[in-house]
Structure 1
Amino acid sequence: MKKIVLLFLFIPLLGSAQNTGTHFEHGLSLQQVKEKAKKENKYLFLDCFTTWCGPCKYMSINIFPQEKVGDFFNKNFVNVKVQFDKTKDDSEEVKSWYADVESLRKEFNVRAYPTFLIFSPQGEPVHRFVGGGEADDLIASAQKALNPETQYYTVLKKQGAGNPSPETLKELVALAEAAYDEGNASKFASAYLATQKDPYSKANLEFISQNAKNSKSKGFELMLKDPKKVDAVLGKGKANEFLASVILSENIYPQLRKPNVNIDSLIAAATAKYPTVDISKSTSLLKLQFYQRTKKWDKFQPAVLTYLKKYGTEVTAEVLNSFARTFFNNCKDPNCLATAMAWSKRSVEETQEKEPSFLDTYANLLYKMEKKEEAIAMQQKAVDLASADQKDEYQATLDQMKKGK
């Protein structure tokens, strides 16, 4: 009987523990959660996430369940988690939000995750911020949504009204960039450049390089129109470097997560769209990274060889070590291993045999090529240089080599 009484006394404590943390609504549409927020006179907080986003998972597991986070968000907001990607395992509730998600994505240009969108009790967008963080940082960022003086969209609307000065426009660009709001950042950047008598001055071109993030921006248009003029101010190849970065971010990167993607077709389409911009250097590296990620080793090796043949003198020791390590782990062909060993040797020489991880790679390749004495000597150097958290791992490899395993 005593045990039963103790159990009943413990049940309320269990219930209390389970109710801590942030409460997220379920089973309601976007319009319905807006109505709920209006009825309760609370702001609406949308946590826009994807299933593949690491910071999103961290927030869900470690931050939102905290009691102080729940106390703040439950008091001030109606909270909703909104999944922005689609998977074969999506529940009916997630599917019911597909149309709302596309509407939100289009209206607010959500491209980074997690993005947090906040609406007033009347349903008007007032604030946004991006990125995971610790509990106090999250609360501080969301707190700004409760004050008209710090609400992102409210400030943007107020300062952007009328005929803002060039300095105000630059401030608005910085504000929009901080909020990952590329649409407004591009709009205000274009408005700023329109006020400039010489958009090709060094200061303005540096401004463009930092803030023009899409092909519809005035800055992209200026760079594309006269790259020689840009290079004369910023240095040879700077215009192409900037243009290629924007082209890849718009035309190639977003497609790479799709199943059965053909990277050669993507590159060909982007090249045809912008024939005056040389994207070959960026796409050569991208192709081998893609083959590495998708484990297409038959294509990875020739892609690496092609890249190194063209750009080998520019490749860092770190990248060479990465290539060599990948070949060591996934290639059994002696010719393939010999190539990898040459890269690894170069990475070791360029760092003057002072980087233990590079020495470890080289030692493993030497051993695999049956140069055991050289391998043991090189691995001993790696052990001697290794930090405390690496030493045991490298020592274990050395011991195996000495045992002939």
Structure 2
Amino acid sequence: MKRLLIVIVILSSIHARAQQGIKFEKTLNWEQIKAKAKKENSYIFVDAYATWCIPCKEMTAKIFPRQEIGDFYNKNFINVAIQFDRKSTDNKRIKEWYSDAKKIKDNYKILEYPTYLYFNPNGELVYKIVGANYDPTSFLENTKLALDPKTQYPTLKDQFVNGKRDTAFLATLIKAGINSSDMKSLPTFINPYLKSQTNLLTKQNIIYIFYGTQSTTDFAFETLQKHSEAIDSVIGKGFSRKTVNRLIFNETVFPMLKTNAVIKNYGGGMVDYQGDLNKSVDWATVSKLVKNKFPDRLEDVIRFSKTLYYQWAEDWTKYAEVVSEYLEKKTNQLNPDELSDYTEVIFQFSNDSSQLQKAEGWSKLAMSSKGTDPTRYRVINTRLMYKNGKKAEAINQMQSVIDSLGQTSGQLVDEINKMKNNEKTWF
């Protein structure tokens, strides 16, 4: 009898644990979930994850199973977890979500994982959280904002349309707009906010300049040009120059490089230039147009324009020529990520020994600078050394990178094996 009671207690404990945590919908598709939410007047919670995302796995293991989290979410939301990458081992259920996952990713601009989306019963996105939060209390408090009409983005936008403009309100609206990745609307909110500020160069205002300057007519465009050093100290080296060049390019040059030209801005610097390539660009005319409007930016804008154009045209010889000429003049102005981007393309597509030697030197400069991805800088430098004939040195450095990462397989291991066998490691 005693043994039976112990078994019952154990089974009860297992059952209790099974009832804890967020219960995710396992059978319905996206349209059915939205229909159910509308019928039941329920909100929807979407956990947007990828299988390779470690923070996603930690949230699933540490936060979602907690009883207080489960109690709140199961009471207030229809919960759905959606995988946004694709693997050959995906089961039938995950594959059935491929199409909906792509639409959700495109519509709601999911650029990082995990991302958490909150929809009202009418299927409108009202709140968005990007990134993991391992503090259950903080995660829950943040979630509650999704259910409060005062902090829901559609409500705030309506208040703006109806004339609300006080500074505190605009700050709340801007934050909600950033969370919702509503890049198109942000300048409309940020411009009046910045006009009310006596000091545009506070850290918060610089961040708003980052999000709100999407046109040469936006309020902060001149600030980007006049105070580039202060702005770059917050956002990153070279940000102001790149942003100014890109905005001039978007408005002045891009329509001359593609027909049916359309620009899609996804935020965070991610821009998609769509249209049909013009195969007979008159660069003299392009230069004249830029010079008439922005004479001080002519050289930078034309270089920026040509690198994009030759990249789209897959004319890597011309691309490498433009980049090499530019880097010789502007090396000290570029951050290590830019240097690495340019030198990697030269590695992949140029066979000019002079360009490759120079690119190796620039990649060493990236390695010696503080940047976001020092491992990548070393890998690109290693690749250039190998292409320049420094096989032994390249193999030693690549092995050092592999050891530091603790890898026993993968792209870098395959690459070092090719080096040892004197095989090409570039396109």
Task: Tell me, yes or no, whether TM beats 0.5.
Answer: yes
TM range (shorter): 0.5 to 0.7
**Higher mean displacement: 125-134 or 4-13:** 4-13
1:234 aligned onto 2:225: no
CA distance in 2, matches of 1:267, 1:158: 44
**Kept after mapping to 2: 8 A contact 1:288/1:303:** no
**2:144 paired residue number:** 143
**Kept after mapping to 1: 8 A contact 2:363/2:380:** no
How far the C-alpha of 1:266 sits from its partner, in A, is 9.7
Amino acid across the alignment from 1:57: K
How far the C-alpha of 1:315 sits from its partner, in A, is 5.5
**1:269 paired residue number:** 312
CA distance in 1, matches of 2:165, 2:95: 45
Q: What do residues 159-202 of structure 1 show as CA deviations (whole Å, max 9, x unaligned)?
A: 32134548565653343224544344355346778x89xxxx99
CA distance in 2, matches of 1:311, 1:289: 9
CA distance in 2, matches of 1:159, 1:312: 53
Q: 1:181 to 1:62 in 2, by over 3 A?
A: farther
How far the C-alpha of 1:79 sits from its partner, in A, is 0.8
Amino acid across the alignment from 2:176: L
The alignment covers a number of residue pairs equal to 315
CA distance in 2, matches of 1:89, 1:283: 36
Counterpart mapping for 1:168-317 below 5 A: 172-189=173-190, 203=200, 210-211=207-208, 219-221=214-216, 231-232=225-226, 234=228, 239-243=240-244, 249-250=269-270, 268-269=311-312, 282-286=337-341, 306-307=358-359, 309-310=361-362, 316=368
CA distance in 1, matches of 2:143, 2:24: 16
CA distance in 1, matches of 2:313, 2:244: 12
Q: What do residues 279-327 of structure 1 show as CA deviations (whole Å, max 9, x unaligned)?
A: 99555413667999xxx9xx9xx99964453475675366798667998
CA distance in 2, matches of 1:62, 1:291: 44
Amino acid across the alignment from 2:361: K
SS in structure 1 of the partner of residue 270 of structure 2:
helix
**Kept after mapping to 2: 8 A contact 1:324/1:341:** no
**1:369 paired residue number:** none
**1:47 paired residue number:** 47
**2:66 paired residue number:** 66
Q: What do residues 232-254 of structure 1 show as CA deviations (whole Å, max 9, x unaligned)?
A: 553697643335789994359xx
**1:100 paired residue number:** 100
Amino acid across the alignment from 1:54: I
1:32 aligned onto 2:26: no
Q: What do residues 19-61 of structure 1 show as CA deviations (whole Å, max 9, x unaligned)?
A: 2111001110122222333444432111122223222222112
**Kept after mapping to 2: 8 A contact 1:43/1:118:** yes
How far the C-alpha of 1:133 sits from its partner, in A, is 0.5
CA distance in 2, matches of 1:107, 1:304: 41
Q: 1:338 to 1:44 in 2, by over 3 A?
A: closer
- Structure 2 unaligned blocks of 5 or more: 231-237, 251-267, 273-306, 398-403, 405-427
CA distance in 2, matches of 1:101, 1:321: 33
How far the C-alpha of 1:132 sits from its partner, in A, is 0.9
Amino acid across the alignment from 1:148: P
Q: 1:311 to 1:31 in 2, by over 3 A?
A: closer
Q: Larger Cα Rg: Structure 1 or Structure 2?
A: 1
**Kept after mapping to 2: 8 A contact 1:172/1:185:** no
Amino acid across the alignment from 1:51: T
CA distance in 2, matches of 1:95, 1:128: 25
How far the C-alpha of 1:143 sits from its partner, in A, is 0.8
How far the C-alpha of 1:152 sits from its partner, in A, is 3.2
SS in structure 2 of the partner of residue 132 of structure 1:
coil
Q: What do residues 324-366 of structure 1 show as CA deviations (whole Å, max 9, x unaligned)?
A: 79989xx999956669999xxxxxxxxxxxxxxxxxx9xxxxx
Q: 1:62 to 1:306 in 2, by over 3 A?
A: farther
Q: 1:173 to 1:117 in 2, by over 3 A?
A: same
Q: 1:309 to 1:288 in 2, by over 3 A?
A: closer
SS in structure 2 of the partner of residue 219 of structure 1:
coil
**1:82 paired residue number:** 82
Q: 1:267 to 1:239 in 2, by over 3 A?
A: farther
How far the C-alpha of 1:114 sits from its partner, in A, is 2.0
**Kept after mapping to 2: 8 A contact 1:127/1:145:** yes
Q: 1:63 to 1:245 in 2, by over 3 A?
A: farther
CA distance in 2, matches of 1:205, 1:192: 13
**Kept after mapping to 1: 8 A contact 2:119/2:127:** yes
**1:153 paired residue number:** 154
TM-score if structure 1 supplies the norm length?
Answer: 0.58
CA distance in 2, matches of 1:203, 1:270: 40
**1:126 paired residue number:** 126
